[in-house]
Structure 1
Amino acid sequence: MIAAVTRHMNDDHLDDSLLIARAFGYPDATESTMVGLDANAGIWRVTDAAGVHDLRVEWPGAPISDRPQIRRQVVELYKLACEKLGVPARDEHEPAADPHGAHGHGAHGHGADNPHAANPHAANPNAGDAGESDGPKPFSRVVRESSWSDHSSSEGASFMENIMRGIASKQDYVDLVAQHFFMYEALEEAGEQLAGNPAYEALHPEALLRLGTLKVDLEHLLGADWRNEIRPVPATAAYAARIREVAAEEWVAGIIAHHYTRYLGDLSGGQIIAKRVARQHGFDGPGIEFYDFEALGDLKAFKETYRDGLDALGETLDADEQQRMVDEVRAAYAFNTAVFVDLAAQKSAA
């Protein structure tokens, strides 16, 4: 549960975490990521000009015991932070706020209590919730909320968490980069179908492609003979095989399900990984080129454009096809979790 909450916050709510850090201890914070929680408080790792700090902020209500309570307490902390900083607080179902007071336009609502996460096979995943507007939810929000619980992993969670916390070994990071190569080799082959389709080419600009950067990183990490040094773990091989299966079917929504899961993660939590790894291992350029999307321009703007594209796609799909795509997104998260489990097992066996 903790891994699910921190991953969700770090993927979708970095601006909220930055507001909390600035309001509750570090007014000049430039970066804030959630790294843990317990019954009484949330824990953030905060960066400012003085260095890196751990910040513990007590929950505003009673001690928590389940996920819905966590969600409510995080929302309350966000609102209290806005009040302390004089920033207008959004409604909890609106997009995440910019830490300087502007409101974003991406689909960043807090969705931990979404009924479709508990029932992913609901007949109409795009139906509006009671108490919200009468219109349908944007499809990008449906996809994100329906897969929220899948952002976590169980026994494999520690492998990725250790990398994000800057306590994993360099070999752990090298092993992760190697698995990325096999994933993106399959994904970018599949993505050629999007690049050739005018309706979706905006989702797949050349600057998004990662295979070339992975080759640079692997040569830096392993040397010129890197291709003979890497092997996919079983879960990675299965993951790549599924992407190729979807591509062979020419199922565009299925390709986008995998495309969305990987690239939007790279543009969100992946940026945190790059900073942690660079700081820990002294990389600057080669070694973390995979996470450098400077050529893409404004990352927030691109993510908003991407979500707009998902919304447009959703309007072309009937309820059954929407659900089929949601299921594929959830399958992609499951593959990702399985890769972490395999990497953890490989490390234990070494």
Structure 2
Amino acid sequence: MNDDHVDDSLLIAKAFGYPEATASTMVGLDEHAGMWRVTDAQGEHDLRVEWPTSPITERPQVRRQVVELYKAACAKLGVPARDEHQPSGGHEHGGHGHGEHPHGHGGEHPHGHGGANPHAHGGANPHAAEPESDGPKPFSRVIRESSWSDHSDSEGANFMEDIMRGVATKQDYIDLVAQHFFMYEALEEAAQQLSADPAHAALHPAALVRLGTLEVDLEHLLGANWRDEIRPVPASAEYAARIREVAAEGWLAGIVAHHYTRYLGDLSGGQIIAKRVARQHGFDGAGIEFYNFEALGDLKAFKETYRDGLDSLGASLSADEQQRMIEEVRVAYAFNTAVFVDLAKQKAAA
């Protein structure tokens, strides 16, 4: 939503509360409404817009509700709606809800929500291999659509939701950064296999590497002895172990599954997290350096290049290998949610 449909969010903001809005970013949702952060001449505002038909109970319903809001906004403002937003009779395609989920976690859903069981693979999406009328779907799109069901809300989502809404404590954010360190320590060890393979090196350029930025942030947040202050929650330790297991096997598609899940989220919803945290806690540089990808250049262009790389990878895999990689993406999403759940439990026990 925040990558490919910025203008739609602005129309919704203008139609449902802030007619002079100059910017609008979707920052959250629940079963009854979507939430946007809107900017106009008076400053920033929180906007909550009820879904046309609520409550929603499944992830694919989100896109339909956003489309209906967009169409209602167009009607209210006298703007013609695009044909691409006509609802389809079957499953949903691309667009809203992918790559831009406000939690900023999970590939193109940004690291958000799988089942709490990090080992629950779930069944294959019956639409994953369904061809479009003009040919098979690109593999990058198959991955997105096949993991939709892994992004339903969970109890752990509240931890990230509080960070997004600016009501979490600074300690909550520090705890999240600490978990990132353990995840990326394992992931960037594994990603060296991608860098060493000419067919996949473009997926992991040097400017994407995050471990050094996490060290900068943790030293700023906790001091020079930060390594003595951090511990992985159980889910983070299991997550890192799984990444190392995949790397030890030399399974490049599995490494890409975890790589995609983390970095595409950092480049999408993660950018929203950085702005929220910077504003709440006064960070500028150190503290949120993890989310600074200036050296990567145009983020949208890189994400397009990345998706092209996924498509090329998919073309080199058999149907069984594609499905195995999709299942590993779902495992990665589940681990992400499990980490949020553990952080929420840790906070409650403190």
TM-score (norm 2): 0.83
Deviations 1:113-141 (A, max 9, x none): xxxxx97425883322xxx4241111111
Structure 2 residue 160 is the aligned partner of structure 1 residue 125: no
CA deviations on 1:58-110 (whole Å, 9 max, x unpaired) are: 444x54454355432211222344563747625144657xxxxxxxxxx999x
Following the alignment from structure 1 to structure 2, what is the Cα–Cα distance between the partners of residues 58 and 134?
36
Does the 8 A contact of 1:125 with 1:319 survive in 2? no
Q: 1:294 to 1:85 in 2, by over 3 A?
A: farther
8 Å CA contact retained: 1:164, 1:273? yes
Change (3 A) 1:183 1:69: closer
- The equivalent of 2:338 in structure 1 is 338
Partner of 1:35: 28
Q: What SS is found at the alignment partner of 1:214?
A: helix
Q: CA deviation at 1:269?
A: 0.8
After superposition, where does 1:236-315 map in structure 2 within 5 Å?
Answer: 236-315=236-315
Question: Are the structure 2 counterparts of residues 19 and 296 from structure 1 closer, same or farther at C-alpha, using a change threshold of 3 Å?
Answer: farther
Q: Distance in 1 between matches of 2:23 and 2:126?
A: 43
- 3-state SS of 2:154 partner: coil
**Identity of counterpart residues, as a percentage?**
72
Contact 1:140 1:310 in 2 (8 A): yes
Structure 1 equivalent of residue 140 of structure 2: 140
In angstroms, what is the RMSD of aligned CA positions? 2.7
Q: Cα 1:212–1:63, aligned 2, differ >3 Å: closer, same or farther?
A: closer
Amino acid at match of 2:322: Q
In the alignment, structure 1 residue 50 sits paired with structure 2 residue 46: no
SS of 1:75's equivalent?
helix
Listed as ranges, the gaps of 5+ residues in structure 2 are: 86-92, 97-106, 110-120
Quote the Cα distance in structure 2 between the aligned partners of 1:124 and 1:44: 30
Q: Could you tell me which residue of structure 2 aligns to residue 91 of structure 1?
A: 84
Letter in 2 for 1:28: A
1:79 is matched by which residue type in structure 2?
Answer: K
Shift of 1:199: 1.1
Q: Which has the higher contact order (CA 8 A, sep 6+)?
A: 2
* TM superposition shift of 1:46: 2.0
Residue 57 of structure 1 and its aligned partner are, at CA, apart by 2.8
Is this contact kept in 1: 2:108–2:265, CA < 8 A?
no
| Contact 2:236-2:339 within 8 A present in 1 as well | yes
Distance 1:267 1:121, change over 3 A: same
CA distance in 2, matches of 1:181, 1:108: 21
| Inter-partner Cα distance in structure 2 for 1:309 and 1:85 | 40
Distance 2:4 2:151 in 1: 11
* Higher alpha-carbon deviation: 176-185 or 46-55: 46-55
DSSP 3-state at the match of 2:280: helix
Given residue 196 of structure 1, which amino acid in structure 2 is its aligned partner?
A
Matching of residue 154 in structure 1 with residue 154 in structure 2:
yes
**Judging changes above 3 Å, is the alpha-carbon distance between structure 1 residues 50 and 308 closer, same or farther for their aligned structure 2 residues?**
same
Gaps of 5+ in 1: 1-8, 97-106, 110-117
- Separation (CA, whole Å) in 2 of partners of 1:135 and 1:311: 14
Of the structure 1 ranges 286-295 and 26-35, higher mean CA displacement relative to structure 2 is found in: 26-35
Task: Note the C-alpha offset of 1:29.
Answer: 3.1
Kindly tell me: are residues 321 and 16 of structure 1, through their superposed partners in 2, closer, same or farther at Cα, counting changes over 3 Å?
farther
